[in-house]
Each structure stands twice: as structure tokens, then as C-alpha cells.
Structure 1
Amino acid sequence: MSSIGPVPMPVVLILICVLLAMAVARLWPRRKDELALPSAASMVLDMLLIGLLCGRISFVALNFALYREAPWSILQIADGGYHLAVVLGAGLAWGAWRLRVWRTLRAPVLAGALAGVVLWVGGSHLLAAWQEQRMPLPAVQVADLQGRTIDLQQFRGRPVVLNLWASWCGPCRREMPVLAAAQQAHAEVQFVFLNQGEAVDDVQAFLRSEKLTLGNVLLDDAASASTVLGVQAYPSTLFFDAEGRLRELHLGELTAAGLEHKLRRLR
């Protein structure tokens, strides 16, 4: 399973962890004279938001060259561009600063934050292991633009970035130049552009109209790859290692910085 509806599983996991952290903080026993204190649950949520903001700012600052040509993409917070260490450090630092005057809130806030982090770490490892086992590079027969049959398994042996797309999909069209540039810059990675459910004439017309030069443009007229992988939204980009094991899945439009970050981890 890659998502619940249009929501990626990693996002679902984060939401569950946040709810758990807030529930622990909210349900922590408090004395009657402490009821007028600020909400421990809201403080846990604030720690998360401050951490995410700082993690995003640090990522953008260190990768600003990749955002310079498309500064609007800084606002695409779903591209995965966060520094985890900064998120955790900033959230904890802000929480410690806020709790300096409310000693009695320290236990519920820190217990809630700890519960959320532990669940996220454990859940992330379990989700990654599950997807690695259940979502390998699919053994699907597709066709190239000349009509020749291609088995996706033939791409094993080197890292693969598998992009599931359609020409009617606006985000797919917007991210294509980013993927095309990455394909030119990273010869060590195989980029496969697997169109879902469209005829060869439609795909070729799209490539001509957008003036795109892409390698490994393939046709999956039955959308078999989407069915096998459980993908329910486009664009979806899957990152496989040389052994065909899924290392990362991204639902939605990719930015240049977000893609580069994922490629670094894939290599």
C-alpha cells in the first residue's frame, strides 16, 4: 500500500504520531490547581510546527541554488525537503524554552513528544521494510514508443527512478522538465517514464509540444504498474535500488531540490 486515498502512507504515519503525542500530553494526570495552565497537547503541536519550519528553512538555505530558478517551489512543502536533525532539535529547544516557566507541564509535554517520536521511528522502519518486500520493481510487460515489448525487470542492476505519469495530469507536466534535467545530470541512475493508460500518439504529441527529450519513455496502456504497486494518484515517483528494492516513494509533484535530495539517498 502506497497511500490511503490520495494521502501518502508516510504522511498518514506522521498524522497518527502527532495524534498519539497530543493524546498522551492531553490525558496525562493533572492536579486541580494545574487546570489553568496552558494545554500540554497544544504545546506538543507547537513543538512539531516550529521544528518543521526550522527544518524547512535549513533545507532551503543549504539547497538554495536548486530553488533559485523556481523560487515558488520553496512553498511546495510536500517535496520532502526537511532536515530531520534540525526538526527534532528545534522542536525540543523551543519546548524546553517554553517549559522553563511551567515545570508541571514538563512531564506531559516531554512524554507526549517522546511517544510520538518513538512511534514515528518504529513505524517508519516497519513501513519501509513492508514496502521493500511488497512493492519491488514490478515484473510488468510494457512497450516503448516503437512498439517493442519491454519488461521492467530489465532495469535491475542499477538504481531506477520510475515515474508514473499521464499527459492530462497538470503536476506531471510541470515536473517533467525537472526529471528531464535530472536524467541528463545523473547517468548512473536509470529514469523510466512510464505513461499510464494513453496511446502512443498522445504521448508523442505531448513530448513534441513540450519540447522534451527523454530516454526510457514507455507505455503502460492498461496501467498495470499502478495496479501492481497500489498507486492511486499521479504523478507518483518510485525510487528503487540496484536490486529492485523500493527505497522511497513520492506522490505528487517533485521539485528540483526534493528530487536531488532523494537521489543522494538512493545512491
Structure 2
Amino acid sequence: MKQIFMYLVMALTSCSTENPVVFSEKALNDTFITQDSKKIRFEQIINQYKGKKVVIDVWASWCGDCIKGMPKLQQLQQDFPEVVYLFLSLDYTIDEWKFGIKKYQVQGAHYLMQSGWKGDFGSFLGLDWIPRYIVIDETGEIAVFKAVHADDERILGALKN
């Protein structure tokens, strides 16, 4: 009985969810909206920051947890000013999105995720909660795939390296 229990514990704790290191073709081809209402593919967005560390924040102005997390994110921006901060919003309209950026004084690059939670980008992430933080390293690889707090130790570790 003890051996069966140990086997189950080992099996359950050794299972890990997949943490991809690159974006899928579908995610890269998903379309976002710029602040001047133009369409742009995610690949075009992320390619602008080649050679730099990038923190991606998937958020929405209606999301209470996103707003509560903004002070931690702003602290991260102060501690790591050389990092690019890329905000991908799940707001329902362009007006709500732009109002939220201004109201909460969100500093960084901004795009509206027009395909939403279940679009190609959201599906790649397996979005089930926001805020959602992703860190891209200087080589363009995903260093942190899933974090829900801006002060997550994995984010801090990836930015310090």
C-alpha cells in the first residue's frame, strides 16, 4: 500500500504542464489592434523588440485583479526600466481600452486583443485568468509562460538574468 501511495505521489508531482519556449504559428498570426485602430499581427508586434527582454501583460480595464496588480507592475517597471512592457488588452471596445490606459496610467506598448480569450493567441496561452504575465528573453524565447502576479519570483529571476 505504501509503495502504491509513493508511486501516485511521484506520478502526480512529476507531471508538468507544457511551457512552450516559442509562440505557435497561429499565435504569431493572430491579429491585434493598434492604438490608432490599425490591424497588426502578433509576430509584427513582438519582432519590434528583438534583442530585448519583454514583459507581456494580458489584462483588461474591467478586470479587478488586473487593476489591483498595477502597483506591483509599476514597481517592476521602476526596478527594471530597460525592459519592454507590452500590454495586450481584452477590453470589449477600443474606447473602453483607451479609457482604461489613461485612467490607470498604464505605461508601455498597447494592443487590443481583438480575437479575445478563445482566439488563436488566447488559446495558445490557455488563458483562464487575467492578469497573465509572460516574459520573453533577449533571444526571443519564452522565459516565463504563465504567471498571474507581477511580483512572481520567476518573473524577477528572468529579468535579473
The 5 Å alignment of 1:35-184 reads 112=6, 116=10, 120=13, 123-124=15-16, 127-128=18-19, 131-132=20-21, 138-139=27-28, 140-150=30-40, 151-154=44-47, 155-184=49-78
Shift of residue 157 of structure 1? Answer: 2.3
* Bigger-Rg structure (1/2): 1
Shift of residue 191 of structure 1? Answer: 1.3
Shift of residue 237 of structure 1? Answer: 1.1
Q: Is the 8 A contact 1:196 1:219 kept in 2?
A: yes
Identity %: 21
Relative to its length, the structure with more helix (as a share) is 1
Please give the alpha-carbon distance, in whole angstroms, between the structure 1 residues aligned to 2:106 and 2:12. 44
Extract unaligned runs of 5+ from structure 2: none
Q: Tell me: CA distance 1:262–1:153, structure 2 relative to 1, closer, same or farther (3 Å).
A: closer
Q: Is the 8 A contact 2:135 2:158 kept in 1?
A: no
Q: Secondary structure at the match of 1:132?
A: coil
Extract unaligned runs of 5+ from structure 1: 1-25, 30-40, 42-111
Root-mean-square deviation (Å): 3.2
Confirm or deny that 1:188 pairs with 2:86.
Answer: no
Equivalent residue for 1:61? none
Q: Secondary structure at the match of 1:232?
A: coil
Please give the alpha-carbon distance, in whole angstroms, between the structure 2 residues aligned to 1:144 and 1:180. 22
Q: Is the 8 A contact 1:144 1:219 kept in 2?
A: yes
Equivalent residue for 1:239? 135
Q: Is the 8 A contact 1:144 1:217 kept in 2?
A: yes
Q: Tell me: CA distance 1:197–1:208, structure 2 relative to 1, closer, same or farther (3 Å).
A: closer
Equivalent residue letter for 1:188? E
Equivalent residue for 1:221? 114
TM-score of the two chains, using structure 2 as the length reference: 0.72
Relative to its length, the structure with more strand (as a share) is 2
Confirm or deny that 1:262 pairs with 2:155.
Answer: yes
TM-score of the two chains, using structure 1 as the length reference: 0.47
